[in-house]
Structure 1
Amino acid sequence: MHVVVNAATSADGKLSSRRREQIAISGEADFERVDRLRADSDAVVVGAGTVLADDPHLTVKDADLRDQRVEDGEAANPVRVVVDSKARTPVDAEILDDAAETYVCVSEAAPVDRRMDLANRGAELVTAGDDRVDLLRAFAALQEAGLERLMVEGGGELIFSLFEDGLVDELRVFVGPKVIGGRDAPTLADGEGFVEDFPTLELESVERLDDGVLLTWQAGGR
């Protein structure tokens, strides 16, 4: 399995404002890059907070890219995966439509009725962990389902947890020209934060894109 974390941050490292509102950080060139990355992935992964805040669709926008996937013997869109310990994903969320298959990773603590509601909406449930999703077990289950190339689109809590569990292989970050500020604004990797054994990255490439820069890192372990 190869896990790529992709994100767009402001110049000061924020994913959005302190209100958790979506802010346009990148431009058309980066949107096209992200769409190509989605098209090259077996699955697109987000946390429940991203679903609740943004209600993303997580599909490939470019029709030619979708057609190419079909020609290659794949579904038009990659599988969508939500890491959602308490099964908070709304049953009317965009990611539960029929545009692509959707997996929801939940913990044993998720209410049974919520799990049933999601299953009835067509979600494939992956149960791993007691109070929160055990990412190692959940990702192992995704791999067993044939999902080898995973693209993670956020948010900060999930990204931190993936680094904490050593599951990140590659980090791609578009850094845009805006300054957002705010001590409570989400960053690329939130969570509890590391105080020792910090994960290290190896810079692979730097590319000017739109009015910002795309940084590509390979994970180097801890």
Structure 2
Amino acid sequence: MHVVVNAATSADGKLSSRRREQIAISGEDDFDRVDRLRADSDAVVVGVGTVLADDPRLTVKDAERRDRRLEDGNPGNPARVVVDSKARTPLDADIVDDAATTYVCVSEAAPVDRRMALADQSDTELVTAGEDRVDLLRAFAALQEDGLERVMVEGGGELIFSLFEVGLVDELRVFVGPTVIGGRDAPTLADGEGFVEDFPTLDLEGVERIGDGVLLTWTATTGE
């Protein structure tokens, strides 16, 4: 499996404001780049915090790209994956509509009634891995067994940190926009507990100016 983390941050490294509200960090050119990346992926992954804050649909926007996927024998949209330890994904969230198969990765600590309700949703598959939190290594192994080989991660910061922590990140692409958000409580690219030793290292593969921002592409030297 090849895991690509893609994110847009402010110039000071924030994903959004301290209110967890979406901020216009990038523009149309970068939105189109993200759409191309989605179209080239087998699955798009987010944490439940992103679902609760933004209610994303995570589908391919461009009709020609969807048609090309169909011509290649793939679904029009990549699968959607939610990492959701306690099964908090709302049953009416856009990510569990019928536009694509959705995998909800939960832990054994998730309430049984919530797990059953999510499993009953159309085109939704439940992946149970881990006792109190989702065991990402086991969950991603299960996704790979289902044929998901190229995976795009769109956040948030807690999930991105956890993926680096277990060595699952192969590539990191970050659009850094010309905006300063600030705030000690505003989410950053990699939140979680943070590293105090054995810091993941990256090799810079590319730098591209997009409008007044810049796209940075790294490969993770410690990824699996």
Matches within 5 A, 1:15-34: 15-34=15-34
Return the alpha-carbon distance in structure 1 between the equivalents of residues 103 and 52 of structure 2.
16
SS at match of 1:70: helix
Q: Does 1:68 align with 2:57?
A: no
Return the alpha-carbon distance in structure 2 between the equivalents of residues 181 and 54 of structure 1.
20
Mark the runs of 5 or more structure 2 residues left unpaired by the alignment: none
Check the 8 A contact 1:46/1:153 in 2, yes or no. yes
Return the alpha-carbon distance in structure 2 between the equivalents of residues 129 and 46 of structure 1.
18
SS at match of 1:216: strand
Matches within 5 A, 1:78-93: 78-93=78-93
Q: Does 1:132 align with 2:133?
A: yes
SS at match of 2:38: helix
Q: Does 1:171 align with 2:166?
A: no
SS at match of 2:21: coil
Q: CA RMSD in A?
A: 0.7
Aligned to 1:118: 118
Aligned to 2:192: 191
Mark the runs of 5 or more structure 1 residues left unpaired by the alignment: none
SS at match of 1:32: helix
Return the alpha-carbon distance in structure 2 between the equivalents of residues 217 and 26 of structure 1.
19
Aligned to 1:48: 48
Q: Does 1:13 align with 2:13?
A: yes
Return the alpha-carbon distance in structure 2 between the equivalents of residues 209 and 3 of structure 1.
23
Return the alpha-carbon distance in structure 2 between the equivalents of residues 2 and 100 of structure 1.
20
Number of aligned residues: 222
Check the 8 A contact 1:28/1:210 in 2, yes or no. no
Check the 8 A contact 1:14/1:180 in 2, yes or no. yes
Aligned to 1:148: 149
SS at match of 1:117: helix
Aligned to 2:103: 103
Check the 8 A contact 1:20/1:186 in 2, yes or no. yes
- The Cα shift of 1:60 comes to 0.2
TM-score, scaled to structure 1:
0.99
Check the 8 A contact 1:169/1:218 in 2, yes or no. yes
TM-score, scaled to structure 2:
0.98
Aligned to 1:180: 181
Q: Which segments of structure 1 move beyond 2 Å, counting only runs of 4 or more?
A: none
Return the alpha-carbon distance in structure 2 between the equivalents of residues 75 and 219 of structure 1.
29
Check the 8 A contact 1:44/1:78 in 2, yes or no. yes
- The Cα shift of 1:165 comes to 0.2
Q: Percent sequence identity over matched residues?
A: 85
